[in-house]
Amino acid sequence: MPEIIKIETAKLAKEKDFDEPVVSFFENGNEALLSDGNASNINSVYWKVEGTSEWYSAPTQSELQKWLRDKHNILVSPITAFSQQFIEDRLVFTFKPCIEKLISVGENLFYREIQYEMFHGLEPMGYEQAFELALYEGLKLIEVK
């Protein structure tokens, strides 16, 4: 099952004008998810009843990743942290967040990795946790007008 973003990431995504059709929502900033199972034309505007509550779209990590890439030229992903260990005779990899932003130099466009002080010395983590952190920090790069 695809991983749904955390409520803190959902709130920041709404601040940055994320309003794509999704099937799950947070109500009143709570951790409880609501879903109708159909994302055809549903967005947080559909779910909001005037004066009753605040709704936050709860996309999957992949849906938010695609929106960041397609709408804002921001690439986010977890990358292998080159830290491996054996747990119960299985090789387990750990990950760190990676964020890249499309920039232009003259007529050339390329992605440049964004280095954050907070990532230096960061303990390696699981795939979904590193993905969530990359999504959250990637959202911070968006300037809402």
Strands 74-87 and 90-105: antiparallel
Of 59, 74, 99, which residue sits at a domain end? 59
**Does one domain contain both 69 and 126?**
yes
**Residue at which a domain ends, from 59, 74, 96:** 59
The answer as to whether 18 is a domain residue is yes
* 98, 129: one domain: yes
**Quick one: average pLDDT of 53-72?**
90
% of the chain beyond a pLDDT of 70: 59
* CA 110, chain centre distance (Å): 22
Alpha-carbon distance of 59 to 35, in angstroms, equals 11
Q: What is the mean pLDDT of residues 71-83?
A: 80
41 and 70 share one domain: no
Does the pLDDT at position 105 exceed 60?
yes
Q: Are residues 36 and 51 both part of a single domain?
A: yes
Structurally, the chain folds into a number of domains equal to 2
Count of alpha carbons within 13 angstroms of residue 4, beta-carbon side: 17
Average pLDDT in the chain: 76
Asked if residue 2 is part of any domain, the answer here is no
92 or 137, higher pLDDT? 137
Domain that holds residue 76: 64-140
**Whole-angstrom distance, CA of residue 114 vs CA of residue 111:** 9
CB atoms within 10 A of CB 18: 24
pLDDT of 40? 44
109 domain residue, yes or no: yes
pLDDT for 145? 76
CA gap 46, 121 in Å, rounded? 43
Q: How far apart are the C-alpha atoms of 12 and 15, rounded to whole Å?
A: 5
Residue 39 forms part of a structural domain: yes
User: Do 12 and 25 have their domain in common?
Assistant: yes
- The strand order across the sheet containing 108-113 reads 74-87, 90-105, 108-113
